[in-house]
Amino acid sequence: MKVGIAFGISEIADPKAFEEKASKFLMKLVDEFEIEGGTFISSKSDTREVDFKDVDIIVIYPLTGGTENALKEFVYYRKPIILFGDSFNNSIAAAIELREYFRDNLIPTALVKSISELKAAILGYEDIKNMLDKFLNIRLGLIGRTSIWLINENFGLPYIHISLKKFYEYYDGTTEAEGWKAVEEIIAKAKEIKEPQREDLVKAGRIYVALKRIINDYKLDGFAIGCFEMLNKLNATPCLALAMLNAEGIPAACEGELNSLLGMLIVRKFFDKPAFMGNIADYGENHIILAHCTAPLIASYILRSHFESGKGVGVAVSLPKGKASLLKIRGRKAVVAGVEVLGQERSKHRCRTQLKLKIEEAKDFIDGTLGNHHLLVYVDSEELADLLSELGFEVMLY
């Protein structure tokens, strides 16, 4: 286990006064772990002198208070962090402040105050290293921008931003023949095609081809796309393309929502399952209606237009009945609920894929959840909640 170590001292402190303490600390670890660093950090510029790209875990020891602003820069490495604090010079106070910062950035972080606790924490992270690497190294993409009505969308993780202008360049680089070929099999398997015409289907296929090329060129694990802006430019929506990609194993979220994308990626990475990202359209005492115009094509489907605009190609998918979970992520918080998919709804006043879900005390769930979009995933709710907790989320399980 390669451990990166950094000590923090305030800019007004004398480094010589802490050299012996830092040396003794290192000596207690060097026989059991491969140590990198051991540098004193007082300013953001000091962090540039340290390279922790190849370490497995970072141990940060704020020897004094007033070090938080410099030490928080280690968020860049996206590595599990252990904060060591002692009873002097506001060390623990600084460590607690840093812990919350790292956790807000979804980096698993622990606080300890003894060498035995520290060694146990390092070994504990070693046991789940593969799982954490799978989570911390994901590459998220945002194409366009987050829809302006998602007023609770606050996302702190790094992601790759790709402008819609760049997307249109990729789209213009596709042909009608490529677009038709991309959706030909999808069309053949559809139970019915209602509103969409051939031109709509070709555009949907070209959007799919363009998105696949972006995914490959930018090496994305998944992406969210600001889709409504396409209505005026292309007279089309990416609903069908997202439905196809999610069925293929590539997490793809609409409306540019990165929190939903993160949930989709977690479920795909750890359970190898797709997710249906939906709006809560209605609820009663023990049920919720979830609806959206895209859903993974993992069951029979009808090709429709996009609900609000009447344009493009949306999908009405008969997702399987049975036990499942609802998931909502917002920042470092997550809500998980066990549900049962009862079947499809068919209101003409809702988005195209509509599902009725049985959930105990639905009103309590609605009162406690974290915003609109939720993911329906066919995984056990307790297993999902346990995983999210291990990844550092604060989980409310219903």
- pLDDT tens digit string along 53-67? 999 999 999 999 999
Residue that is last in its domain, among 98, 118, 135: 135
Quick check: helix, strand or coil at residue 245? helix
**For residue range 70-93, what is the model confidence (pLDDT) as tens digits?**
999 999 999 999 999 999 999 999
- 101 and 182 co-located in one domain: no
Q: What is the mean pLDDT of the chain?
A: 97
- 84 and 174 co-located in one domain: no
Q: What percent of the chain has pLDDT over 70?
A: 100
Are 246 and 221 within 8 A, CB to CB?
no
- 255 and 340 co-located in one domain: yes
156: confidence class by pLDDT, cuts 50, 70, 90: confident
In this prediction, residues 198-212 reach a mean pLDDT of 98
C-alpha atoms less than 13 angstroms from C-alpha of 186 in its C-beta half-sphere: 31
Q: Domain count of the chain?
A: 2
- 78 and 188 co-located in one domain: no
- Domain interval for residue 267: 138-397
In this prediction, residues 206-222 reach a mean pLDDT of 98
302: confidence class by pLDDT, cuts 50, 70, 90: very high
- 113 and 51 co-located in one domain: yes
- 180 and 249 co-located in one domain: yes
- 157 and 262 co-located in one domain: yes
- 177 and 319 co-located in one domain: yes
In this prediction, residues 189-207 reach a mean pLDDT of 98
- 240 and 149 co-located in one domain: yes
This prediction has a pTM of 0.92
Instruction: Tell the burial category of 107 from Cβ atoms under 10 Å away from its Cβ (0-12, 13-18, 19+).
Output: buried
Q: What is the enclosing helix (H) or strand (E) of 209?
A: helix 198-218
Q: What is the pLDDT of residue 316?
A: 98
- 370: nearest Cα among 397, 335, 332: 335
- 131: nearest Cα among 342, 388, 330, 350: 388
